[in-house]
A = this chain, B = another copy of it.
Amino acid sequence: MLILMDGEHTKANLAEVVARVEQLGFKAHVIPGANSTAVGVTGNPGPLDPRVFEVLPGVKQAIPVTKSYKLAGRDFQHGDSAVEIVPGLKVGAGRFVVMAGPCAVESREQTLRIARQVKAGGAHVLRGGAFKPRTSPYAFQGMGEEGLKILAEARAETGLPVVSEALDPESLALVYKYADVIQIGARNMQNFALLKEAGKLDKPVLLKRGLSATVDEWLQSAEYLLSEGNKRVILCERGIRTFSSHTRNTLDLNAVPVAQKLSHLPVLVDPSHGTGLRDKVAPLAKASAAVGAHGVIIEVHDRPAEALCDGPQAMPPAEFAALVEVLKKLGGVLGYTM
């Protein structure tokens, strides 16, 4: 912590700051200056709330120095992490991983059909929601365990591992049972009870960034998973909420290199939710590859007009296959395999 005194502070103010630091059991270092005075704090075992000092008279600002994510950050792990999904398939190890499938499992027939199509189109992982977080209580809420069984059947047929979203302790147990990767959605990024539970499991977690989460908060949510023992965490940027409403969300590709610099965890991008518009998914998927993401997760539906959920952002299978072809070619320039 570095505490900056304001231009009008008195000697008594400074003494109070020093006393407060020492009362907490830490060490205070006064740094005098021509225009300003600061106090450095050392000896604190973890991050401090800057406002503890900012409420003291004469203090202008307090700046945390210690990071609050030790396991997600690069202080203790300098190299990049690769997360194994199933034997032979790692995210973050030089391969651009493509996850694809319908927004929601709607029926056995629909899911098997689309699973075959995305497999043929080049996907590495099958996505599909059995539990759907819906803004309105009157919208389709997913098929539940029945949907997970269908996904497991699709895996058995296609060989594609499955990623699916958990919403609460109950659905978490079921997703853990049937899927290969547990997705924590944007709305639950700070559902800390759910994060703690998922952190105790031995399957990889795909952690989506919240709509209004900073990269720091995202990494602190990852820290919840890591600190419980689950080291297989994959980050996923999926669009943030801004004033800009020409797309459903504002896909923030800046966050990809930023998160990669701060953290060793692999970073995927979800251009389907990030834009919410089918014709914007392919350009942003290519941009995701170019910006250095470790993969994408894409919604595919062969009959989007019939989709019970997010049909308008689903890509037709033929377009998906064509996109994968371009992504492969881009890998030749950008230095990844697929």
A positions within 8 Å CB-CB of B = 2, 4, 7-8, 20, 29, 31-36, 38, 40-44, 46-47, 49, 51-52, 54-55, 60-61, 63, 65-69, 73-75, 78, 133-138, 167-171, 187-188, 190-194, 196, 210-212, 214-217, 220-221, 223-224, 227-228, 240-247, 250-258, 261, 274-280, 283-284, 286-292, 304-305, 310-313, 326, 329-330, 332-334
Q: Within the assembled complex, what's the spacing in Å between the Cα atoms of A256 and B167?
A: 30
* Residue of A78, A138, A216 with highest tally of chain B CB at under 10 A: A138
24 intermolecular pairs with C-beta atoms under 8 Å apart: A31-B40, A33-B65, A35-B42, A35-B44, A36-B42, A51-B312, A54-B312, A55-B311, A63-B63, A69-B136, A137-B220, A168-B194, A187-B190, A212-B243, A240-B242, A240-B250, A243-B243, A244-B255, A250-B252, A250-B254, A254-B274, A254-B284, A256-B283, A257-B283
Q: Within the assembled complex, what's the spacing in Å between the Cα atoms of A190 and B137?
A: 11
Known contacts A36-B65, A190-B133; A305/B31 CB under 8 A: no
Q: Within the assembled complex, what's the spacing in Å between the Cα atoms of A196 and B52?
A: 37
**In the complex this chain forms, how many copies of it are found?**
4
Known contacts A51-B313, A257-B280, A312-B55; A68/B217 CB under 8 A: no
CB pair A223 B136 closer than 8 Å: yes
The 4 closest A-B pairs by CB, nearest first: A51-B312, A33-B42, A212-B212, A168-B193
**Chain B residue at minimal CB-CB distance from A55:** B312
Contacts of A250 in B (CB 8 A): 240, 242, 250, 252, 254
Contacts of A190 in B (CB 8 A): 133, 135, 187
Q: Among B2, B216, B242, B304, point to the contact of A4 (Cβ < 8 A).
A: B2
Q: Within the assembled complex, what's the spacing in Å between the Cα atoms of A301 and B258?
A: 22
Contacts of A261 in B (CB 8 A): 279
CB pair B212 A241 closer than 8 Å: yes
CB pair A67 B275 closer than 8 Å: no
Contacts of A46 in B (CB 8 A): 138
Contacts of A169 in B (CB 8 A): 168-169
Q: Among B35, B191, B257, B280, point to the contact of A188 (Cβ < 8 A).
A: B191
CB pair B242 A247 closer than 8 Å: no
Q: Within the assembled complex, what's the spacing in Å between the Cα atoms of A287 and B257?
A: 12
Q: Within the assembled complex, what's the spacing in Å between the Cα atoms of A48 and B276?
A: 16
CB pair B214 A68 closer than 8 Å: no
CB pair B224 A137 closer than 8 Å: yes
CB pair B212 A68 closer than 8 Å: no
CB distance from A142 to the nearest CB of B (A): 11
CB pair B290 A134 closer than 8 Å: no
Known contacts A169-B168, A191-B191; A246/B242 CB under 8 A: no
Contacts of A279 in B (CB 8 A): 257, 261
CB pair A66 B214 closer than 8 Å: no
